[in-house]
A and B are shown apart, each in its own frame.
Chain A
Amino acid sequence: MNNSGIEAISDNARRFLEQTQSVCHESNNRLSLVKTRIRDWQKYRSKLRFILDCIGEQCSYLANVLLKNGIGKTLIEKQWGRMVLVDLAGEMEWWQRDIQKMIKRLDSVQNILEKQRKSTLGDFISRDNSHMLDMKLDELPVIRKQVENISRQYQQTLGKVQTQLIGIRLKKLEEEFDSRFGDQCEANLKLDDQFTVEADQLEHELADFLKSFTDHFDKCSMLMSGTLTPSGSKSLYEIVERDDKELPAIDTALHEAAKDVSDFAKEVNALLDAKEGEKSHMEASLVKILADLQKHEEYILVFEGISKLIERFRNSCLEGIHQSKELLSFYVNFENSYHKLLSEVERRQETATKMSQILENCEAQLKKLDAADIRQRQVFLLENGDFLPETIWPNEIGNLSSLYTLDYSVRDV
């Protein structure tokens, strides 16, 4: 064992170590890039799966919640079909019948207070608004037709969503995902399992090479430092000398491993390139289905618009019913008041009779008093007239006219 021998071995060890470090560094970079690409691909697939699940749920929301429940059941069946076309129509017919019945009744009541011409109570009411509900009822067939149209449109839309959107498009998208991006797709199985394991193995292999060269270099450094006992140095030198001979072979193996890494990276990158090339078709399909979902917003806005129109019609019908109720109550009050008016007329006639009787009685009593007065005047004048001058009671001494005048009338009602 001589120093120059140790030095030569040590130099050799350093040279190989430096080469190995550089080879390992390069290969590790390759592996780490490949691993990052695999991870990114997995993340992409995970997000794609997530979006697909969300699209699936959105399609089902569109079909079941918005269309079937919100429009089909609540709007068409309940609000329009039942509430407007049946309940409201029934109510309007009922009030219209009632009001017509009332008008007929008023037409049949003769106004006995008007003597010159024959009239009925019906002549005294306005009929302009008595057919207000009839007009609304006349509009109902139009509304019914609209509802039928929109129901047909609803069925078509629902059918399209169920068959085309969910049955074909979404299904195709799922199939495309499963065959190209799913976990069970052959390429992805390779990337997720085989290639990932292989990358780890290659990494370990490279680490082992690096460790061998580093260990050998460390042993050389230890020998060079001269800190070992002679016997220790001797046995270590023997090991180092033996290992030194194996360095070229190990180096060849390292370069083979590096080539494996390079080949592996090429294979993985080629596969990933191919897989990533499939993204564009999938993304285009996604764009289409998202646009389709958005297009349905417009369709549903049409339903919403019609819903508002029918709501407005319903409100105007309710207003009509309300006014008809008021009108009917007015007619009922009118008839009642007419009958009360007849009693009022009777009461006034009775009062007039009473007044006539009082006045007739009064006239009779006045006449009686007047006759007695005249008689007494005549007796007085007979006994005293010759002795009294005319001027003693001017104008009155010989006046025999009545003390009163009476002129009255009681109106005929």
Chain B
Amino acid sequence: MDADNTVVYIKVTGRNREGFVEPPKFYWDLEKDQKLWSKISHFGNKKKSIDWTKLSREFETPEYFLRKRSYRLFAKHLRILEREIETKTRGLVLEQDTGDNADQNDMGDSGSDVSDDEKQAERDSVAPEGVKNLRWSKILNQRVPGDPKATDSSLSELSNLSVSKSALEEALLERLQL
């Protein structure tokens, strides 16, 4: 529904025209709307005020429309930002509440939205355990001193620690940005 295929009649009851001049027919679409947003949302970087007359010429669109549309776009943009901040703040509070358990929960999650890579990683970590159980001789399972595998458990503990540490840092950084 645009200026080419749609006509809008505004029937004003109980009011005379009183010199009201109808704005000319002009064309506006999403492409122009996006262009307008990219222009006005970057104005603050270099210029102090918006030259509406110039914009009007450029977009071949009356000034009143550009002004109102810009106001609406800014208002909606602000609302989106507000919502984002709200979600982030709520997320932080939740994160603090769940605390240390967060990592464990992530590991145990086998929901349908786990990606293929994650599934593969899961298999990799589980499968050797399965194979180990298949071994008959205990000697074959015995670890030789100096074998790098022997340090597995302590290494994974370390990496777990560093993971939770970086998650903490991330949360803190995010909070600082807010």
Contacts and interface: CB of A to CB of B under 8 A. Distances in A.
Chain A in direct contact with chain B (Cβ < 8 angstroms): yes
Interface of A: 124-126, 128-129, 315, 319, 322-323, 326-327, 330, 334
Contacts of B128: 326
A319 B129 CA distance: 13
B130 interface: yes
A327 B135 contact: no
Nearest to A308: B112
Contacts of A327: 131, 134
Q: Which DSSP category, helix, strand, loop or mixed, fits chain B's interface?
A: helix
A107 B117 CA distance: 37
A334 B135 CA distance: 10
Contacts of A326: 127-128, 130-131
A125 B134 contact: yes
Interface string B129-166: 01101111100100000000000000000000000000
B134 A128 contact: yes
A129 B130 contact: yes
Interface string B77-96: 00000000000000000000
B131 A322 contact: no
B131 A126 contact: no
Interface residues of B, number: 12
B134 A126 contact: yes
Contact of A124 (B123, B127, B131, B136): B136
A119 to B, nearest CB: 12
Nearest to A333: B140
Contacts of B131: 323, 326-327, 330
Q: Which of B127, B134, B140 has the most CB of A within 10 A?
A: B134
Given A326-B130, A327-B131, A330-B131, A319 B123 contact: yes
A323 B123 CA distance: 9
Contact of B137 (A124, A315, A322): A124
B134 A330 contact: yes
B135 A323 contact: no
B128 to A, nearest CB: 7
B130 A323 contact: yes
27 contacts: A124-B136, A124-B137, A125-B134, A125-B135, A125-B136, A126-B133, A126-B134, A126-B135, A126-B136, A128-B134, A129-B130, A129-B134, A315-B119, A319-B123, A322-B127, A323-B127, A323-B130, A323-B131, A326-B127, A326-B128, A326-B130, A326-B131, A327-B131, A327-B134, A330-B131, A330-B134, A334-B140
A327 B135 CA distance: 10
A113 B119 CA distance: 43
A319 B136 CA distance: 22
Given A124-B136, A126-B136, A129-B130, 18 more contacts: A124-B137, A126-B133, A126-B134, A126-B135, A128-B134, A129-B134, A315-B119, A319-B123, A322-B123, A322-B127, A323-B127, A323-B130, A323-B131, A326-B128, A327-B134, A330-B131, A330-B134, A334-B140
